[in-house]
């Protein structure tokens, strides 16, 4: 690790996180072994390698009553109506595709998983079919990516980030959940999920009334790698290497003190914290960093309500109406947000203590997205449920002094969870990966 101080080093953190529970997630590097929290009763998966059902059935498969002929209506996306024989066939093909294309993670219930390559693998938790998203919201989210890149970049030279959004059913608005400057994971898996859904719709689309061309292409994994390669080229030293840091803080300090290109730098890391996002949402703050008035308007349009706990009026409102707010600590990875009665109790305790501990939290407007019928697949088993979805738009940025070399929207990922769940996070065990179906 001592070589981190040399001038021929390029350092990068790629969304790799270690949690106190011992659960690790690795993103954007398909060759690594991935470990997730899985149910212990499932130890192995066996795949029946066979032709797709559509090639061997003489009669068209149906959605319980009739083959869909209309081009597009809301009933097309009521996946709960799919005939169970067809549904099981799609699930089987999804499992086969996942095995053949490395859409796999380590299964913690298998003792040697994570220690012996290729042992104890299971498919990634996934949504069987893509989730519908109006094209206008999709376009808005993609257009915001390069604007956020410019907003975040003040001192840093390179960034790979992911901005997460939900569509609020009450206001019919695309609202930002958060911007991830370090934990921007699932680029490579997101690309694989797109491949899976395109493949399934190519095979079964005529039976479902769905068109695989409506699933937007997604090369997030490639674009992240290309940005790193371009940064290496800009470093202009053929002996330079890319160092991937897995949250070793001593190495992180050494990296920051070196002349390496940091992805992210410590300042970039801090910009992704919830407190900084709350400060940016204050009136007049964006104007200090963004000159283009059209860009300012686009950024403000996607900001959900964000407040410091120093605002006594908003804290009072949150105590009186906790269902309208989310209390967020400065932590990552899912499972940390506070809702409902627990939110009220936490705010009251913070008020009583009179300490500065309240600075570790922000209040956010709670977003109420519309739910959608979905089929969720875990450990080879499928379940029907009503779900909500979070859209993550990746972006890449590279600047050399005043010259902007890369500033792109760079693919996407969707994370879908049961509508009854407050928390998200695929690695935390709450959600599954998904893709977009444009409507």
pLDDT tens digit sequence for 204-250: 999 999 999 999 999 999 999 999 999 899 888 889 888 877 766 77
Per the annotation, does 365 bind a ligand? yes
82 a known binding residue?
A: no
Helix (H, G, I), strand (E, B) or coil at 190: helix
Stretch 365-377: mean pLDDT, rounded?
95
pLDDT value at residue 73:
59
Token code pair at residue 61: 């498969």
Is 390 labelled as part of a ligand binding site? yes
Task: Give the rounded distance of the alpha carbon of 366 from its chain centre.
Answer: 18
User: Rounded to whole angstroms, what are the CA distances from 317 to 311, 326, 358, 366?
Assistant: 10, 12, 16, 13
Contact between 432 and 375 under an 8 Å Cβ cutoff? The reply is no
The Cα–Cα gap between 249 and 18 comes to 12
Strand-pair partners of 133: 438
Using one digit for the tens of pLDDT, what is the confidence trace for 131-171? 999 999 999 999 999 999 888 754 557 889 999 999 999 99
| Residue 268 assigned as binding residue | no
Q: What beta strand segments (E) does 268-322 contain?
A: 306-308
To the question of whether residue 364 is assigned a binding role by annotation, the answer is: yes
What is the token pair recorded at 270?
């801090």
Q: Is 337 annotated as a binding residue?
A: yes
Does the structure show a pLDDT above 50 at 409? yes
Q: What average pLDDT score do residues 275-299 get?
A: 89
Binding residue per annotation — 423?
yes
Share of the chain above pLDDT 90, in %: 51
What is the reported pLDDT for 97?
Answer: 97
135 to 18, 142, 303, 374, 435: CA distances (angstroms)? 36, 11, 20, 20, 13
Which pTM does this prediction carry?
0.77
The mean per-residue pLDDT over the stretch 255-283 comes to 78
Q: Which has the closest alpha carbon to 371: 168, 139, 144, 70? A: 168
Q: Label residue 429 left, alpha or beta by phi (over 0 means left) and psi (-120 to 50 means alpha).
A: left
Q: Is 13 annotated as a binding residue?
A: no
What tokens were used for 39? Answer: 């149910």
Give the dihedral of Cα atoms 56, 59, 64, 65; nearest 10 deg.
Answer: 170
Instruction: Consult the annotation and say whether 180 binds a ligand.
Output: yes
Alpha-helical segments (H) within 102-242: 135-152, 187-208, 220-235
- Is 339 known to sit in a ligand binding site? yes
> Would you say 385 is a known binding-site residue?
no
**CATH tag for 307-366 (out of 3.40.50.150, 3.30.1490.50, 3.40.50.300, 3.90.45.10):** 3.30.1490.50
pLDDT at 44: 33
Q: Are 209 and 60 in contact (CB under 8 A)?
A: no
Q: Where are the beta strands (DSSP E) in 257-380?
A: 262-263, 306-308, 325-329, 361-365, 372-378
Distance, in Å, from the CA atom of 22 to the CA atom of 19, rounded to the nearest integer, reads 6
Instruction: For residue 366, say whether it is annotated as part of any ligand binding site.
Output: yes
294-351: pLDDT as tens digits: 999 999 999 999 999 989 999 999 999 999 999 998 766 556 889 999 999 999 999 8
Does residue 328 have a known ligand-binding role? yes
Residue among 310, 321, 316, 417 nearest 371 (CA): 417
| 176 is annotated as contributing to ligand binding | no
- Max mean pLDDT among 69-78, 245-254, 369-378, 419-428 falls in 369-378
Question: Residue holding tokens 């410019």?
Answer: 150
Q: Is 193 annotated as a binding residue?
A: no
**How high is the mean pLDDT of the chain?**
80
Residue bearing the bigger pLDDT, 275 or 299? 299
The pLDDT value recorded for residue 247 is 65
Residue 137 annotated as lining a ligand binding site: no
The more confidently predicted of residues 326 and 45 is: 326
pLDDT at residue 70 is higher than 80: no
Cα–Cα distance between 380 and 95 in angstroms, integer?
7
Q: Is 88 annotated as a binding residue?
A: no
Is 166 annotated as contributing to ligand binding? no
DSSP tally for the chain: helices H, then strands E:
12, 20
Residues of the chain with CATH 3.30.1490.50: 307-366
139 is in an annotated binding site: no
Strand ranges for 37-156 from DSSP E: 104-107, 121-123, 126-127, 131-133
* 334 marked among binding-site residues: yes
Query: What tokens were used for 414?
Result: 């969707």
Provide the pLDDT confidence category of residue 50 given band limits of 50, 70 and 90.
very low
Residues 6+ apart with CB under 8 A from 145: 163, 393, 394, 395, 408, 409, 410
283 carries a ligand binding annotation: no
């Amino acid at each position: 690790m001592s070589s981190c101080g040399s001038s021929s080093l390029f350092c990068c953190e790629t969304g790799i996180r270690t949690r106190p529970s011992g659960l690790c997630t690795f993103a954007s590097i398909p060759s690594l072994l991935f470990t997730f929290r899985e149910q212990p009763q499932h130890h192995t998966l066996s795949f029946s390698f066979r032709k797709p059902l559509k090639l061997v059935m003489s009669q068209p498969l149906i959605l319980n009553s009739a083959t869909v002929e209309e081009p597009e209506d809301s009933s097309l996306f009521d996946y709960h109506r799919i005939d169970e024989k067809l549904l099981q066939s799609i699930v089987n093909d999804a499992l086969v595709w996942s095995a053949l294309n490395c859409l796999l993670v380590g299964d913690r219930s298998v003792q040697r998983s994570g220690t012996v390559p290729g042992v104890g693998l299971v498919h990634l938790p996934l949504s069987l079919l893509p989730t519908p998203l109006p094209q206008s919201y999709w376009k808005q989210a993609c257009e915001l990516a390069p604007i956020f890149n410019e907003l975040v970049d003040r001192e840093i030279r390179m960034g790979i980030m992911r901005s997460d959004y939900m569509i609020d059913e009450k206001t019919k608005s695309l609202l930002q959940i958060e911007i991830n400057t370090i934990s921007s994971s699932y680029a490579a898996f997101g690309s694989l999920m797109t491949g899976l859904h395109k493949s399934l719709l190519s095979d079964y689309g005529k039976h479902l009334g769905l068109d695989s061309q409506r699933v937007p292409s997604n090369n997030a994994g490639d674009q992240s790698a290309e940005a790193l390669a371009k940064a290496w080229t800009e470093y202009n030293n053929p002996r330079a290497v890319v160092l991937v840091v897995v949250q070793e803080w001593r190495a992180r300090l050494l990296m920051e003190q070196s002349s390496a290109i940091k992805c992210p730098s410590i300042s970039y890391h801090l910009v992704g914290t919830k407190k900084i996002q709350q400060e940016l949402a204050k009136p007049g703050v964006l104007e200090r960093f963004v000159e283009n008035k059209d860009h300012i308007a686009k950024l403000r349009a996607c900001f959900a309500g964000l407040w410091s706990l120093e605002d006594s009026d908003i804290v009072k409102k949150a105590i009186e109406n906790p269902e309208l707010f989310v209390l967020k600590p400065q932590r990552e990875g899912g499972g940390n947000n506070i809702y409902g009665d627990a939110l009220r109790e936490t705010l009251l305790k913070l008020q009583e203590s009179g300490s500065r501990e309240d600075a570790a939290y922000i209040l956010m407007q709670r977003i109420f997205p519309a739910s959608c019928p979905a089929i969720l697949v875990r450990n080879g088993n499928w379940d029907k449920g009503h779900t909500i979805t979070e859209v993550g738009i990746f972006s890449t940025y590279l600047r050399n002094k005043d010259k902007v070399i890369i500033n792109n929207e760079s693919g996407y990922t969707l994370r879908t969870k049961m509508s009854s769940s407050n928390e998200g996070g695929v690695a935390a065990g709450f959600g599954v990966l998904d893709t977009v179906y444009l409507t």
